[in-house]
Structure 1
Amino acid sequence: MTNTVSDEGLDLLFREARSMNGWLDKEVSDEQIHAIYELLKMGPTSANQQPGRFVWCKSKEAKEKLAETASEQNKKKILTAPVCVIIGYDLDFHEELPWLFPHADAKSWFEGDEAARKESAFRNSALQGAYLMLAARALGLDCGPMSGFDQDAATKAFFANQPRYRADWICSIGYGDRSTIFPRSPRPEFDTFNKLL
């Protein structure tokens, strides 16, 4: 029989986990950041594309630089978080496929088709961002995902030397201040948005 996650683990990852708006003054170590990545990279992506590109803004200067690209309501969330991650993607991820997916000539599937590369990079890097959040939660940290920022400005500010990378969304990570969260929003029952055929 396959092992399953305990009820306590499911609470940690899903049922009791919340998106944080404020943070306790408690550091996230470089070791914790590396541990998050070591978990998230194990999540599946199509043909092991691994198109996600991550910038971990931990220093005061990096967070200030990122906050300059954010909406007013998100600036404080970025500045006060121990770490804020930019989740981006590489439009030329296919160049890495010969070693990431050596089972087939996967690079040829995407050569000359930038639209297909963008669609696949966007989809699979979003998956990797979700894995990042689950990994952080599994390691006892909280998350605050955000999309209220200027993606082009963040791309220019953080990926200037990688012209084929694009910033997509951001996620603050740390120890959340639960006094700052809203009451949980409704979650639909299965029959609302599902069909079982």
Structure 2
Amino acid sequence: MTVQTTPTLAASALDQLFRDARTHFVWHDEPVADSVLRELYALTRMAPTAANAQPLRIVFVKSPEAKARLKPALTPGNVDKTMTAPVTAILAYDTEFYEKLPKLFPARDMRTGFANMPPAARAQTAVVNASLQGGYLIMAARALGLDCGPMAGFDAGKVDAEFFPDGKWKTVFLLNLGHGDATKLFPRNPRLDFEEACRIE
């Protein structure tokens, strides 16, 4: 039997996605087109999620007015990098994600099981899977030539109150997007070796 293998990416692609990619905090004044954000989501939605539930919801904050609404929720160290980023994505999860399951998993009824889950367990499922999609979003952004600056330094309650007042979406993390100024980066910090972080059993 012949096993078909998927060709590996070129070294230059792996550099762009992983080895040379950095977390940026200083941005060039170059806008990100709405068409690029649509392409970014088209790639992100291909991430694997439990029962294909796709709980991630995104608000792409671009306008000065929207940035001003986001600013009060940021910790002081994240204000400048966010206000100058061409786009800040609010990555959230939909607390009622299961309502989309008749469309997303038409083969059988997955909605009922999630709807009947204890709310805390359902929220944990949503957070885990939305975070997985968020990781895909970062890789998709890099593949499209964008730089990323993920952040956890913000008041999620304030973000939710301002952008999701009905309470159905809950913020997971923020992600600045654009074209970063590589001259402002500091040397990359070390990473753990395989032996420090992994084992094979």
Instruction: Give the TM bin, normalised by the shorter chain.
Output: over 0.9
Q: Show the counterpart of 1:178.
A: 182
Q: Show the counterpart of 1:166.
A: 170
Report the Cα distance in structure 1 between the residues aligned to 2:67 and 2:82, rounded to whole angstroms: 6
Q: Which deviations, in whole Å up to 9, do the C-alpha atoms of 1:126-155 show, x marking residues without a partner? A: 011111111110000100000000000000
Report the Cα distance in structure 2 between the residues aligned to 1:181 and 1:104, rounded to whole angstroms: 49
Aligned residues: 196
Report the Cα distance in structure 2 between the residues aligned to 1:191 and 1:59, rounded to whole angstroms: 46
Q: Show the counterpart of 1:76.
A: 80
SS at match of 2:150: strand
Taking only the aligned residue pairs, the percentage that are identical comes to 43
Q: Show the counterpart of 2:113.
A: 109
Report the Cα distance in structure 2 between the residues aligned to 1:110 and 1:14, rounded to whole angstroms: 35
SS at match of 2:73: coil
Deviation at 1:182, TM superposition (A): 2.2
Q: Show the counterpart of 1:91.
A: 95
Q: Show the counterpart of 1:191.
A: 195
Unaligned stretches of 5+ residues in structure 1: none
Unaligned stretches of 5+ residues in structure 2: none
Report the Cα distance in structure 2 between the residues aligned to 1:194 and 1:87, rounded to whole angstroms: 29
Contact 1:57/1:85 (<8 A) preserved:
yes
SS at match of 1:195: coil
Contact 1:22/1:77 (<8 A) preserved:
yes
> TM-score, normalised on structure 2?
0.95
Listed as ranges, the matches of 1:143-162 within 5 Å are 143-161=148-166
Matched, 1:133 2:138: yes
Deviation at 1:44, TM superposition (A): 0.9
Deviation at 1:60, TM superposition (A): 0.9
Matched, 1:123 2:131: no
Q: Where do 4+ consecutive residues of structure 1 move more than 3 Å?
A: none
